[in-house]
Amino acid sequence: ALKASLEKDMGQIDFIVHSIAFAPKEGLSGRFYDISKEAFEVAMDISVYSLIEIVRELKPILSSNSSVLTLSYYGGVKYIPNYNLMGVAKAALEMTTKYLAEDLGKDGIRVNAISAGPIKTLAAAGIGDFSFMLKWNQYHSPLKENVTINQVGNSGMYLLSDLSSGVTGEVHYVDAGYNIMGMPAVEFDENGKPKIAWDGN
């Protein structure tokens, strides 16, 4: 139905933005090994397989030199508290991006992902201690700030446009540089003791 509707209204389309993810609340906290098979399957189906499905459904009307973009998060690369099952789903989503990029490259279709830093959205409300996460990212990122929806959108426009015509299979970080940090930079006082300017409050 979606393909038929789009084909009727537009003929061909130039891009797809995949921005859907879900995990049952039980899969976001608690012991990781307690995650049920049902919760795992739901998270993977909605957060990952949906990208494959939408690409397969709409590929016949994707124009040459078109672009597919999905949204990931650093929790798919490193452990993030209270992210649990979504971290596994995002890891799978990023690899799905790479495999789709190779598969669709011969058709002139590019596939990329944006890994954005934490942003206060409705979806973020389901993550425990999210306000702490925002402060942590701001304090420890090189730019000492959290990213905005507009900044993520600007990067999205780049990846969807011909400006990124030579880019595919990539995970593009928009997180004020947080992902490059191995450990936070710490200033020391005259006695050689670290100065901790942030207490997490």
Other beta carbons within 10 Å of 149: 11
Catalytic, 33? Answer no
Query: 74, 83, 173, 178: which is the annotated catalytic residue?
Result: 83
What are the b/e assignments for 73-102, b being 16+ CB within 10 Å?
Answer: bbbbbeebebbbbbbbbbebbbebbbebbe
Query: 33, 49, 73, 74: which is the annotated catalytic residue?
Result: 73
Rounded to 10 deg, the angle between the 84-105 and 50-58 helix axes is 30
Active-site amino acid positions:
73, 83
